[in-house]
Structures are given as structure tokens and as C-alpha cells.
Amino acid sequence: MAQIIDGKKISTELKLELKDKVAKYKKEGIEITLAVIQVGNDKASSVYVGNKKKACEFIGIRSLAYELDENTTQEELLSLIKELNQREDVNGILVQLPLPKHIDEDMVIETIDAKKDVDGFHPMSVGALSIGKKGFISCTPYGIIELLKRSNIEIDGKECVVVGRSNIVGKPMSMLLLRENATVTTAHSHTKDLKEVCKRADILVVAIGKPKFINSEYVKEGAVVIDVGIHRNEDNKLCGDVDYDDVYPHVSAITPVPGGVGPMTIAMLMKNCVNAVEIQK
Ligand code: GUN
């Protein structure tokens, strides 16, 4: 029977550990504060931001919410970020993406002080990861490493294939697996013989944004499959990038959707907020 990697359970364990750590910091007089900025009122973003605030409350992190109007100018947003960069009582700054079209996302990300970049999106954070220096790590791939480790799945020396090369998931995922001493292949939409490449994987991480794209023809017997996708199918049910029912009989471990990778992302954001204290020392 394949192991079903329970992201809900693992993220709860992690959040409880972080809650303890935050309580210890409080006893030493250290309070952690996260500033969350949302521009406009995109429905999905409001749900994510709400969940981030709830997680902060649970763990004991103070959150400052900045809900800005859709028509906020780039200058106004950048000046708020610069003000938060200066504030000693703010440890983390998160600007919820996507931003309205008139705002340059790269410019916004680069304006956040890299020492407060709890999303791990700043070029300094990305660079630090690639050369093995201390810095913030993008939450979803960081969460996947945590899922593998806490499920006792060995990464060292394993053949890993990451399908997808986004800046937020695919690329940092490959860097993190490499840091754990895996042999890593990054596959993408131009990869020839994707099935054959995926079939080499002991650990297959799928982040391509296509519902149920990966079926058993892409998976080696006994592989570990990590599904980053989340979609709603015709019946309004959630599904991932992996055809779970087709793949399940062939794997040794797999993440479900929902309840796999998803719950880890916010837990790792909380971990980054706690890590901020060390990074800022
Ligand atoms: N939008 C969707 N996911 C994320 C995330 O992890 N961070 C930010 N800032 N925006 C997002």
C-alpha cells in the first residue's frame, strides 16, 4: 500500500512547533511581526491573505494588514514598502500577488528589503539559495522538502525530476533538491520525451498547472509523487496535476489534492517569519 503523505497533519505539527518557538521568543522579549499588503480585492487573494492572518494568530505572530485600493499607484505601494523596510518592529513583508496590471511586480519584489522577504521571491533570496547561503526560501518548494523529510523519504542520491520551471516553484524546487544531494532534472513544456524523463524519477515533483496531466505512463514503479497543482474539475471537485487514481497503485508514496502540498505553503511562510529573527541578527 502506498503511503499517502498527509500535508494537513504535517503542517499542523510544524505550526505547533513554531507556536512553541514564538512563545519562547516572546519570553526573551522578541515579538515577530508580519506585514501583509493586498492591492485590490481579488477573491482568491482575499482568501489566501485571510488564511495567512489566521495562521499568524494561531502561532502568535503579530500581523499588520494593509488593504489598498485597486487604483493605488506604484509610487504609493513602493513608498509603503520602503516605510516598512525601515521599521524595526516589522520582521516580514509580504505583497500578495498578482498585482493590478499597472504595477510592475518585479519592481515591487525588488523593493522589499531582502532581510524581510518572507516569500523568498527577491533576487537576493533566490541567489542565496543557489549558492547555499542563509536566506529566505520560497514557501511551496520549502514545504515539499519538509514533507519528504518528515515522511522519512530519503532525498540524498535520488533521481529527482521536477516538471515545471516557474520562479516560485519549479526553479527553487530543483535548487533545494540539489542542495539535498539529489540528482535533479528540470523538465518543462519543451522537454522531449517527457514520459521517459519522468519515468527515471525516484521522486517526481509536478508543477505544470494542467489538471490530471500526469498518469501512470509517466511514473516508475515505486516512485514518490508530489503534486503541486490544484484545480477544480467538471464536477467542481478539487484535483491536482496528477491523475491520482491512475497513479496511486504504482507509487510508494504520494501527496493527495487537497491535503498534500497546499497546507504546507502557509506553514512554511510562518517558518520563514520565525527564521527572520535569525536572518536579521
Ligand atoms: N499569490 C499566490 N501565491 C502567493 C505567494 O505564495 N505569495 C504571494 N506574495 N502571493 C501569492
Q: Stretch 136-159: mean pLDDT, rounded?
A: 98
Structure-block grid coordinates of residue 279: 536572518
Q: What percent of the chain has pLDDT over 90?
A: 98
Q: Stretch 271-281: mean pLDDT, rounded?
A: 95
Q: Stretch 10-38: mean pLDDT, rounded?
A: 98
pLDDT in tens, 201-247: 999 999 999 999 999 999 999 999 999 999 998 899 999 999 999 99
Q: What is the pLDDT of residue 55?
A: 98
Q: Is the pLDDT reported for residue 179 higher than 90? A: yes
Q: How far apart are CA 18 and CA 41, in angstroms?
A: 30
Q: Which residue's CA is the closest to the ligand 1 atom numbered 2? A: 97
Query: Omega of the bond prior to 258 within 30 degrees of 0, cis?
Result: yes
Q: What percent of the chain has pLDDT over 70?
A: 100
Q: Is the pLDDT reported for residue 33 higher than 90? A: yes
Q: What is the pLDDT of residue 234?
A: 87
Q: Which residue's CA is the closest to the ligand 1 atom numbered 8? A: 96
Tell me, in angstroms, the distance from the centre of ligand 1 to residue 113's CA: 17
Q: What is the pLDDT of residue 3?
A: 98
Sorted by where each starts, the structural domains of the chain and their CATH numbers stand as: 29-123 (3.40.50.10860), 139-262 (3.40.50.720)
Q: Which residue's CA is the closest to the ligand 1 atom numbered 11? A: 97
- Residues annotated as catalytic are 52, 96, 119
Q: What is the pLDDT of residue 47?
A: 96
Q: Which atom of ligand 1 is nearest to the CA of 95?
A: 9
The C-alpha angle with vertex 12 and arms to 201 and 90, in degrees rounded to 5, equals: 100
- CA distances (Å), 256 to each of 4, 109, 136, 229, in order? 7, 31, 27, 10
Q: Are 90 and 33 in contact (CB under 8 A)?
A: yes
Q: What is the pLDDT of residue 99?
A: 98
Q: Is the pLDDT reported for residue 56 higher than 90? A: yes
Tell me, in angstroms, the distance from the centre of ligand 1 to residue 140's CA: 10
Q: How far apart are CA 213 and CA 195, in angstroms?
A: 11
Q: Are strands 231-232 and 238-239 parallel, antiparallel or unpaired?
A: antiparallel
Q: Stretch 26-47: mean pLDDT, rounded?
A: 97
pTM strictly above 0.95 = yes
Question: Which of 36, 42, 48, 117, when mutated, tests ligand 1's pocket best, judged by the most ligand atoms within 8 Å of its CB?
Answer: 48
Q: What is the pLDDT of residue 22?
A: 98
**Ligand 1 first shell, C-beta below 6 A:** 94-97, 119, 139
Query: Per-residue confidence at 21, pLDDT binned at 50, 70, 90?
Result: very high
Q: Is the pLDDT reported for residue 20 higher than 90? A: yes
For all residues of the chain together, what is the average pLDDT? 98
- CA distances (Å), 151 to each of 95, 172, 174, 253, in order? 31, 21, 19, 9
Q: Which residue's CA is the closest to the ligand 1 atom numbered 3? A: 97
Q: Stretch 159-173: mean pLDDT, rounded?
A: 98
* Closest to 148 measured CA to CA, from 242, 55, 254: 254
Cβ-based burial of 23 (10 A; exposed 0-12, middle 13-18, buried ≥19):
exposed
Q: What is the pLDDT of residue 281?
A: 85
- CA distances (Å), 56 to each of 87, 243, 270, in order? 19, 34, 7
Q: What is the pLDDT of residue 48?
A: 96
Q: Which atom of ligand 1 is nearest to the CA of 138?
A: 6
